[in-house]
Structure 1
Amino acid sequence: MSEHEDRQLVGAFPYVPQQKRAQQKRNSLLESGRELFIKNGYEPTTAKEIATHAGVAIGTFYRYFSDKRQLLLSLLQNQLDKMLPPEPKWVMANPERFLASILESHFKQLEQIGLHQVLPELIIRDPELAEVLIQSRKNWHARILTGLQQAKEKGLTWPDLELEMVAWSILVILENIPKKEKESGLKTDCVELAKIICRMVFPPKGMTP
């Protein structure tokens, strides 16, 4: 998400603290909001609950944030792009090993951020955010498709597959890994996941042993 899109979505804050103590209160509200949104969901969580959890008065909440949406979008600033899957590199000595490595890092980062759990609920209620996410996914797809086309030009991919559909399929698989883990209770083996994705892209002769 670009800086311009950040400003459009979040809007102007009622007050931006300059002193360290005030900044600490604002940061405490942000962290409390993050924890409660992840634990209880966006809709059930109230500004009052966030303030109580942070140990401040409700008036302090509204001193720094217009509402809980602005607080959540503040948390999401510069994080939305990190929630999208990483970009594989198909034209290299061992794309499968590289993909497994970046997927491992991506899912660890996603777990640390945690806010991906709130996005499905929020998107339904926030058309502006939904549009930004749609555009981010389209941009991701375009980049992956370009990489696949470069691999095809070198004769590495399956010759009979529609690469646009392959790119979307990879995105859908990777986006749904957190949901799969939550429902199954099992961690994803990124080596196996990378193997499956690379089998979608490369015939056996295109793979490096």
Structure 2
Amino acid sequence: MPDGEDKLVGEFPFFPKQERAQQKRKALIDSGYALFNSKGYDLTTAKEIASHAGVATGTFYRYFSDKRQLLLSLLEDKLENFLPPEPSWIAGDPETVLISLLETHYKRLEEVGLHRVLPELIAKDPELADVLGKARRKIHESITSGLQQAQEQGLTWSDMDVDTLSWAIMVLVENGPDKENQCGRKIDCKEMASLICRMVFPPEVLKQLRKQEIEIQE
């Protein structure tokens, strides 16, 4: 989780120690998870979360200050899972490596859920937007650094602007789920990895890297 998560979540009104109270809190969290995923953040209310969990609205406010705090508790230690992976461009066949990273990334997104809800909250939550913005900049710096290493070794297009390409890769990966929703077509990690690699490497370099990987495996 990025630094500052404690500030974002804040102090809970009450954190239960007895098992029965813990079960009620968990029921509220499970309820919030289900409703946020099905209805979205804006259309979900604390009253609905409580009703779905089978408790009174007052019970909700006993454990959480508001629905934002509940959502952030769901996201605890998971915000980094919403960010693009950091590829390695100089180890093995870059396309194979990238396919594996993308498959893991999108699988993790589905397991965590809530990736469709997060933009709703970010739009009206400057603190959360700032935390995610800082995390994205760190990922961008890491991708840029890797591309610079590959460029220094003469592996990339000679006129490639690594800063611009790094952002382009991040946007492409981040918008994969939106493309799937709008087009009704499942994310093709091989197709995406192939496109990114063509953006980074000339065809002859890709062939050379693949050949080296095969030789190593043999």
TM-score range, shorter chain: over 0.9
Q: Is 1:7 the counterpart of 2:6 in the alignment?
A: yes
More off after superposition, 14-23 vs 186-195: 14-23
Task: Report the counterpart of residue 198 of structure 1 in structure 2.
Answer: 197
In structure 2, what is the Cα distance between the partners aligned to 1:109 and 1:56? 31
In structure 1, what is the Cα distance between the partners aligned to 2:41 and 2:187? 26
Specify the SS of the correspondent of 2:4: helix
Q: Deviations over 1:53-107 (max 9, x none)?
A: 1111212211110111110111112111111011111011111101101111111
Say what the alpha-carbon RMSD is for the aligned residues.
1.1
More off after superposition, 41-50 vs 18-27: 18-27
Matched AA of 2:160: L
Q: Is 1:49 the counterpart of 2:11 in the alignment?
A: no
In structure 2, what is the Cα distance between the partners aligned to 1:66 and 1:34? 16
Task: Report the counterpart of residue 73 of structure 1 in structure 2.
Answer: 72
| Residues 1-209 of structure 1 mapped to structure 2, 5 A cutoff | 1-2=1-2, 4-207=3-206, 208-209=209-210
Specify the SS of the correspondent of 1:117: coil
Q: What is the aligned length?
A: 208
Matched AA of 1:180: K
Alpha-carbon distance, 1:186 to partner: 0.9
Specify the SS of the correspondent of 1:116: coil
Alpha-carbon distance, 1:21 to partner: 2.4
More off after superposition, 112-121 vs 134-143: 112-121
Matched AA of 1:181: E
In structure 2, what is the Cα distance between the partners aligned to 1:103 and 1:119? 20
Alpha-carbon distance, 1:13 to partner: 0.3
Matched AA of 1:30: I
Q: Percent identity?
A: 58
- Runs of 4 or more consecutive aligned structure 1 residues displaced over 6 Å after TM superposition: none
Q: Deviations over 1:107-144 (max 9, x none)?
A: 11111222110122111111111111111111110010
Task: State the structure with more CA Rg.
Answer: 2
Structure 1 length normalisation: TM-score?
0.96
In structure 1, what is the Cα distance between the partners aligned to 2:173 and 2:186? 13
